[in-house]
Amino acid sequence: MRLPLLLLAAVVHAAPAQRPNIVFVFSDDHAYQAISAYGDSRKLIQTPNIDRLAKDGVRFDRALVTNSICGPSRAVILTGKYSHKNGFYNNSNSVFDGSQVTFPKLMQKAGYQTAIFGKWHLVSDPTGFDAWQILPGQGLYYNPPMKGPSGQIQTKGYVTDIVTDLSIDWISRRDRSKPFVLMCQHKAPHREWAPNIKDLGWDKDRVYPEPETLFDDYSGRSQQVAENDMTLEKTITPLDVKLTRPDNMSPEQIAAWDRYYGPRNEAYRKADPKGRDLVRWRYNRYMHDYLGCVKSVDDNVGRLLAHLEKEGLLENTIVAYSSDQGFYLGEHGWFDKRWIFEESLRTPLLVRWPGVATPGAVSKAIVSNVDFAQTFLDAAGVKAPADMQGRSLRPAMGGSVPDGWRTDFYYHYYEYPRPHHVSPHYGVVTDRYKLVRYYGSGPERTDLFDLEKDPLELRSFAGVAGYESVLADLEARLGRLRKELEVPAQEDPYASGALKRAPGKGGKAGKKKAPEKK
């Protein structure tokens, strides 16, 4: 029997909407300055494929991390909880408790297929995934071993290509009757920044514009800022700047590597730069290699988008791109991250969500990696547990700051002293100010930063006349956030016994290496 047209229209309208697929592309140490959609003044690199997500969706300019370091950031994303709640504080000796609730587990229960490929870096094996293949530890750039449910296998090629290949293959073989969540997690552009062999000459020996703070002397702030060990001047190693080869290369890769780096390294040794000239040489080598890794990530984002388009999935798939935190590209003379300061605290976040994210929108809302789990659950129509500490980003996908949105944000970094001697610290961040407390590395000190007057964060305004009311307001905000987030009164998990120190052991960079010798 044929239904009347009005009744047929009602039936069609009442049909449940198809739940979106989710593809989360996650890189390691990818600075927002190295994404052309963010408009860095140095114009370091063009990233047309990542930029496409900004063009077709929303770019978040105040995406902040809770703890600027790899493993803890990943644990925050999986659980929707800060480090003191999920138990993963640092890269030195934390182990992720895979029995706790994570958003992939909740998605599985809701009928989603789940998969993760690439960098994991949480020590324990993944849980909550129907398919997984991960890099052991940090992983290698060339011909990396990988681990899956059946054990370890050896792969051939370049790691960013391999992770994308695995992701594309899984999409092709998925159960097409179910929606899916895919976490495509790249090692690049993590230290030691080893580019794809085919990209070695990609920048034609460009001399890169220097950041204004390349030769920062760290005056004007608490002593803890000066006591770091992550500078281009003192901390860089021969491997970092390719005076020695990375591990696990094939004979063909070695030959191509030597053809590129050999004559350039010889010219460097002959010139024998000193002082600031040496820092400038290291900076330019660092930019060539780091940005070469970024180029490969962008190329592979393009491959993944092309495959989604080929499969007819783009219009019902959320594609989000982010990184575990920001990264220093020579600012303040640094590489690495860890600090509450802008280049470290801010992470890129671009989201293409058809029908929800406004194409070309730019959001100034304070958002965070602690929000990702609840956003993905919201997209799938899955209720988030009450103890998750973020919020869905759906209301911010139009680019405006939603009514009632957060106006301040809590940050806490723990790992000390290895590998980079960055003081443990915590603080509160608003759209203009930061209050930072350093502890556990000598006498406790406080810095107050005014991003409007000092966007490069070169001066602390703590104790400066005229900032008394600002300081009092930030102190009140900090106390409220710590209470709301249930931060232990004893802020140091080592002192409280919640975490044991591992003397002499490193984190992401491994054991401390000798400075480069010429």
Asked if 370 contacts 390 with a C-beta cutoff of 8 angstroms, the reply is: yes
Which alpha helices (H) appear in 230-274, and where do they start and end?
A: 251-271
**Sequence-separated (6 or more) residues with CB below 8 Å from residue 411:** 64, 65, 66, 67, 68, 340, 345, 426, 427, 428, 429
Contact assessment for residue 134 and residue 159, using Cβ atoms and an 8 Å cutoff: no
CA atoms within a 13 Å half-sphere pointing along the CA-CB vector of 258: 7
- Average confidence (pLDDT) over 415-428: 95
289-312: pLDDT as tens digits: 999 999 999 999 999 999 999 999
- Measured CA to CA, the distance from residue 372 to residue 355 in angstroms comes to 19
Q: Is residue 508 part of a domain?
A: no
Whether pLDDT at 518 is above 70: no
> Where does the pLDDT of residue 36 fall: very low under 50, low under 70, confident under 90, or very high at 90 and above?
very high
Average model confidence (pLDDT) across the chain: 93
Torsion angles phi and psi, residue 131, rounded to 5: -140, 140
Contacts of 178 (CB under 8 A, 6+ apart): 111, 112, 113
Instruction: Return the closest-CA partner of residue 456 out of 41, 67, 60.
Output: 41
Q: Nearest 5°: CA angle at 224, between 419 and 344? A: 60
* Angle in degrees, CA 357, 363, 364, rounded to 5: 160
Rounded (10°) angle between helices 70-79 and 372-380: 30
Asked if the structure places residue 383 within a domain, the reply is yes
pLDDT tens-place string over residues 122-135: 999 999 999 999 99
pLDDT (average), residues 455-476? 98
Q: Which domain holds residue 263?
A: 19-496
**Residues sharing a CB contact under 8 Å with residue 458, sequence separation 6 or more, in sequence order:** 213, 216, 220, 221
518 lies in a domain? no
Burial of 5 (0-12, 13-18, 19+ CB in 10 A): exposed
162: confidence class by pLDDT, cuts 50, 70, 90: very high
Q: 204: alpha, beta or left, given left = phi > 0 and alpha = psi -120 to 50? A: left
Would 503 be classed as within a structural domain? no
pLDDT of 491 > 90? The answer is no
Task: Extract long-range pairs of 38-47: CB within 8 Å, 24+ residues apart.
Answer: 38/348, 41/209, 42/208, 42/209, 42/211, 43/209, 44/208, 44/287, 44/291, 44/329, 45/291, 45/294, 45/295, 45/298, 47/294, 47/295, 47/298
Measure the CA–CA gap between 334 and 229, rounded to whole angstroms: 9
Residue type at position 355? G
Within-domain flag for 48: yes
Q: Which residues contact 34 (CB under 8 A, 6 or more apart)?
A: 40, 44, 45, 47, 189, 290, 291, 294, 327, 329
What is the rounded (10 degree) CA torsion for 454, 457, 463, 466?
20
For residue range 169-205, what is the model confidence (pLDDT) as tens digits? 999 999 999 999 999 999 999 999 999 999 999 999 9
> What is the pLDDT averaged over residues 39-45?
96
Supply the pLDDT for residue 490: 74
The reported pLDDT for the residue numbered 12 is 34
Domain count for the chain, please give it: 1
List pLDDT tens digits, range 68-119: 999 999 999 999 999 999 999 999 999 999 999 999 999 999 999 999 999 9
Residue 501 has a pLDDT of 56
Rg of the chain over all Cα atoms, to the nearest angstrom: 23
Q: Tell me what the mean pLDDT of segment 494-505 comes to.
A: 56
Residue 11 lies in a domain: no
Confidence of residue 497 (pLDDT cuts 50, 70, 90): low
When pLDDT is averaged across residues 49-78 and rounded to a whole number, the result is: 98
Looking at the DSSP assignment, which residues form a beta bridge with residue 164?
A: none
* pLDDT digits 0-9 by tens, 235-275: 999 999 999 999 999 999 999 999 999 999 999 999 999 99
Q: What whole-number distance in Å separates Cα of residue 107 and Cα of residue 203?
A: 42
- Find out whether the peptide bond into 273 is cis, omega within 30 degrees of 0: no
Q: Would residue 513 count as lying in a domain? A: no
The CATH number that applies at residue 434 is 3.40.720.10
- Residue 516: inside a domain: no
513 or 229, greater pLDDT: 229
Reported as a single tens digit per residue, the pLDDT across 104-115 is 999 999 999 999
